[in-house]
Amino acid sequence: MTDEGRLLAGRYRVGALIGRGGMADVHIGTDSRLGRTVAIKLLKSSLASDPAFRTRFRQEAQAAARMAHPTIVRVFDAGEETVADSSGGETQIPFIVMEYVDGRLLKDIIREGPLNTAEAVRIIDGVLTALEYSHRAGVVHRDIKPGNIMITKTGQVKVMDFGIARAISDSSTTVAQTTAILGTASYFSPEQAKGESVDARTDLYSTGVVLFEMLAGRPPFRGDSPVAVAYQHVSESPVKPSSINAKVSPALDTVVLHALSKDRFARYQSAVEFRNDVETAGSGQIPVRRTVDESGTGLFGAAPTAVSGSELALKQLAEDETMVRTQRRPPVIWVWAGILSVIVIVLSVMIWAFSLTPSSDLPDNSRKVPSLAGETYEQAQNELLDLDLAATMAQEPSATVPKDKVIRTDPPAGTIAQPTDVIKVYVSTGAQPVEVPDVTNKPIADAQAAITALGLVPGSVTQENSTTIAANLVLSTDPAALSAAKTGDTVNFTVSSGLVTLPDVVGQSLSAAQDLVNAVLLKPIPTPDDSCPAKPGDPITKQSLPAGDVPQQTEVTLTYCIG
């Protein structure tokens, strides 16, 4: 089933396919509400089968949406759309609505051959500018690669998919679902390949791989499988880009090899440091390798270094127990005064804490989702906007809620939401027309299940005698089978009791009595009685079962007089 033409969240019209990746397809689209062109990324439905992924996906998409920078592709909206699959069931399609960028992917540009030095430096400068902004915002990309970098027709660098790799790797998805990530093994950092925790320096390593590929025309490591490539990132040293492309300067060789250090403490510690060296190398000068003291500890602290002579002397001086301590100890009264001051402060804090009374007021940065059931979508949207909450619409049939009225919200009413949260509003499409299925001769339990599956409501069950239908099988329904109904309508059942009505045949002739018993599919057993005088027609003097309801196929002894 094609996605083209589908309307997502009641506002985004999916257009032609413009890109395809391991975990998503990208379509051009239209925001019907704002009248602007957007890019719509439809993630694989297999990812949405994991609730942990959906939660992480929503959180990371919201984090990405808060980043506004010229070098980052904006995320406008995200969510999941419920659609019917080919088997008649329902499936969830996660989607992201992004800024539409009129340009080319860097991977397509590299496919045409190595870039010249100036262009490679300009592009990697834009990537590092985007990473500097995202890292300061606390967002690590985790999947920097040429397939996530776009170059507009005016030459602007745009990095996309912030937070999406984290949403996948941090959820409890299966190995099959994360296979898409293995496709980016060429850009893995050693810590990613080893399954260790990642930080901003992981993005800088991947950026170094991208710079290598722009200069050399291929990644630094290649193999027959993603696992083989990941192993090389951990254990093998890369060659210089100039060994593949002689036009690459020694200065850029130095920058690339520094960025591709296996030890995260030995590579660049920040995007700013990396960009400064790239600019220096682009001007033809070899960057000066900074010591830890010169470059600072950055965001992650410094790597262990050797102890200098002065530090060793100070350490020995501190550990020399033969030295006489000349500093006077503080008076004892000062010590006790300090202790008492601490006790007084602690007691004061405890008294203040216990005196606080619980408040029902909500924090300024949070909102309580209101009850919107029964309202129109426009009313619900306006009410949410008054609370600084965004709304997205989903539709589903309902037999109890009128058409175009709100059924429920996700998260539900009463939930505390942040101003950046998107509230999914489910709107009723009304009761759907449905045809009453033919459930005759089916067990009542199966018939009720078939009725329920179509949105109908099982009603009363009435028993009726039947000569041919076994007990608890459906004889008929009201409304009748194949008649028109609507979801929510009640269907009553008439089922077989498994009994038949035995007539009173005493006084009837033997032949007439046998015909009456055979007519209800019972088994007559004629039995002669010679204790009474014979009469014409061999009349029945006694029947073994009284007239009334008896089980189907029961034997009935008919006693007749023979004299």
Nearest to 390 by CA among 409, 405, 373, 408: 409
> How big is the chain by its Cα radius of gyration, in Å?
40
Which residues, 6+ apart, have CB-to-CB distance to 191 below 8 Å? 197, 198, 202, 264
What is the C-alpha to C-alpha distance for residues 20 and 414, in angstroms, rounded to an integer? 40
Does 70 sit behind a cis peptide bond, omega within 30 degrees of 0 on the bond before it? no
Exactly one of 31, 143, 203, 421 is catalytic; which is it? 143
What is the C-alpha to C-alpha distance for residues 343 and 28, in angstroms, rounded to an integer? 66
Q: Where are the alpha helices (DSSP H) in 5-74?
A: 51-65
What is the C-alpha to C-alpha distance for residues 210 and 208, in angstroms, rounded to an integer? 5
**Residue 49, class by beta-carbon neighbours within 10 Å (0-12 exposed, 13-18 middle, 19+ buried)?**
middle
What is the C-alpha to C-alpha distance for residues 103 and 160, in angstroms, rounded to an integer? 13
State how far the alpha carbon of 26 is from the alpha carbons of 46, 98, 179, 270, in Å.
16, 10, 19, 31
Phi and psi (nearest 5°) for 437? -75, 155
What is the C-alpha to C-alpha distance for residues 444 and 452, in angstroms, rounded to an integer? 12
What is the C-alpha to C-alpha distance for residues 472 and 447, in angstroms, rounded to an integer? 11
Starting from the edge strand earliest in sequence, which strands make up the sheet with 422-428, in order? 390-396, 422-428, 406-410
Euclidean distance between the first and final Cα of the chain, in Å? 84
SS3 305: coil
CB 190 within 8 A of CB 262: yes
Q: In the numeric block, which tokens belong to residue 518?
A: 């055979």
Nearest to 26 by CA among 102, 108, 95: 95
| One-letter amino acid for residue 395 of the chain | Q
CB 75 within 8 A of CB 24: no
State how far the alpha carbon of 86 is from the alpha carbons of 49, 398, 455, in Å.
17, 22, 20
DSSP 276-326: HHHHHHHTTPPPPPPPHHHH--TTT-PPP-PPPHHHHHHHHHHH-TTSPP-
Phi and psi (nearest 5°) for 193? -65, -30
SS3 250: helix
Which residues, 6+ apart, have CB-to-CB distance to 305 below 8 Å? 292
Q: Where are the alpha helices (DSSP H) in 78-163?
A: 106-110, 117-136
Give the pairing of strands 103-105 and 149-152: antiparallel
170 an active-site residue?
Answer: no
Would you please indicate which residues are annotated as catalytic (active-site) residues? 143
